[in-house]
Structure 1
């Protein structure tokens, strides 16, 4: 995006961790926080290769406790801790078709990736925030946690719904200790992961990607703005929420979906 107007360095001196920060929404968030002056750490299972980014990269698989421990140890050694934690890691890589296609392994993977990775990182990095009596944790959820589709997102939606409940609960525990905890629930974003998801669905259905995209948007009830979000648009919301401008916001779930979710 080229419409970012605020180039102030209001996050100068802050250290931010963005999980899954090498592509898609995570990369957009990492880049936006860096523009605002934060020192940004990103994690992913594999190094993104050639990049012009100055973000500190940690290779780790956060779907298990070993990867979380590795990230926490390196951050403690090099940075002492973080002021901002963006739990962006998540994936919907599980079979569609409803309950009968999902094994115990699929359910366990969905919970490990979309819920427990955040729980473990919070548990590892939150004590330092509490000690300094300041910090912000953002859990990147999904509107799928509130608008599940049995054909394609059963396990993913269930894990994200659990993440929403956990995030709200944690916010109440730590609010009076100076730490804010917020959930952001994007709708459809124009990312490579979404493109891959739509391509797999279209192949299984025997239709074009364009037809599947329209079918998915219709299945969700339509998107009033008529398009997917750019990742940078979601990143702008996250940036606002971690900034001093949002100092009175905690415990909320911010939906950014182009008007799709049919609830008041």
Structure 2
């Protein structure tokens, strides 16, 4: 893509699957130096530094931040891809204290903790980019199964907007990317779970999600690589005047502009 990312120091969370894995590969192709993390590596990891860490914990975030500083000497770009939901279906009544805590521990606090640990270095160098991957679920939650996830992503979006207003005047851009339905392993698992609960097959579970979202005018979900391309552009110097914005990539799912 020739995005002038050669030798940029990048941290990507959740870089072993889905959008994160696609982004890591793309950034390496662009010549960036990449650190990524997950709880465990996969067999097909690309050529980057991998740090095993549970980012749902304070200790995991601290370990990743220290490793990033040690191996990269600082960071130019942070992309928070990590996220997901393990909450059961059944609406609000199925969400106990543990389910609510898990959703926020996965979808909000890792970004807050890692930004806090690494943003000081960006401000000292007077440049940097932070990208928070949110979700259209913050606008179109699915009450049957994603209330807590949607709330956590909405909190992430608000946090990101506030952060952008604080640090953009100091040279650090903060941008949000809000995907809709992406056909990743996690989303396939969600469709399969909904299908099982509804007594249908995978295509039926997929239709349940698409119908709940009001349909996808494009007629298909996005691919991880399509989302990765958008993120890479926004992280690059080609997007140097973009900050504080949220970019939706959802095949037209959100019905308003």
TM-score bracket, shorter-length normalisation:
over 0.9
Deviation at 1:10, TM superposition (A): 1.0
Greater mean deviation of Cα atoms: 125-134 or 76-85: 76-85
SS in 2 for 1:226: coil
Residues matched between the structures, number: 257
Question: Secondary structure in 2 aligned to 1:229?
Answer: coil
Decide which of 23, 34, 38 is 2:28's aligned counterpart: 34
The Cα of 1:229 is off from its aligned counterpart by 0.6
Deviations 1:88-136 (A, max 9, x none): 1101111121111111111111111100111001001110000000000
Q: CA deviation at 1:9?
A: 6.1
Aligned to 2:213: 220
Question: Within 2, Cα distance between the matches of 1:67 and 1:145?
Answer: 26
Report the equivalent of 2:77.
84
CA shift, 1:25, in A, is: 0.5
Q: Which runs of 5+ in 2 are unaligned?
A: none
Is 1:93 equivalent to 2:86 in the alignment? yes
Superposition pairs of residues 185-200 of structure 1, within 5 angstroms: 185-200=178-193
Paired with 1:259 and 1:118, the residues of 2 have a C-alpha distance of 27
* Residue aligning to 2:62: 69
Q: Is 1:45 aligned to 2:39, yes or no?
A: yes
User: Any idea what the Cα deviations from partners look like across 1:138-168, whole Å, max 9, x if unmatched?
Assistant: 0001110111111010000000000010000
1:166-206 per-position Cα deviation (integer Å, ceiling 9, x unaligned): 00000000001100000100001111111111111111111
1:16 alignment counterpart:
10
Once the two structures are TM-superposed, the CA of residue 214 in structure 1 deviates from its matched residue by 1.5
What does 1:1-264 correspond to in 2, within 5 Å?
6=1, 8=2, 10-51=4-45, 53-264=46-257
TM-superposed deviation, 1:49 = 2.4
TM-score, normalised to structure 1, is 0.95
Question: Aligned-pair distance for 1:215?
Answer: 2.2
List per-residue Cα deviations over 1:12-70 (Å, max 9, x = no partner). Answer: 1211111000110101111111111111111000111244x111100000001000010
The secondary structure found in structure 1 opposite 2:160 is helix
SS of the aligned residue for 1:13 comes to: coil
Residue pair 1:30, 1:40 contacting (<8 A) in 2 also? yes
Gaps of 5+ in 1: 1-5
8 Å CA contact 1:9–1:35 kept in 2: the answer is no
* RMSD of aligned Cα (Å): 1.0
Bigger shift: residues 41-50 or 177-186: 41-50
Give TM-score, length-normalised by structure 2. Answer: 0.98
Cα 1:243–1:9 change in 2 (3 A) is: closer
Who is 1:3 aligned against?
none
CA contact (8 A) 1:9 1:37 kept: no
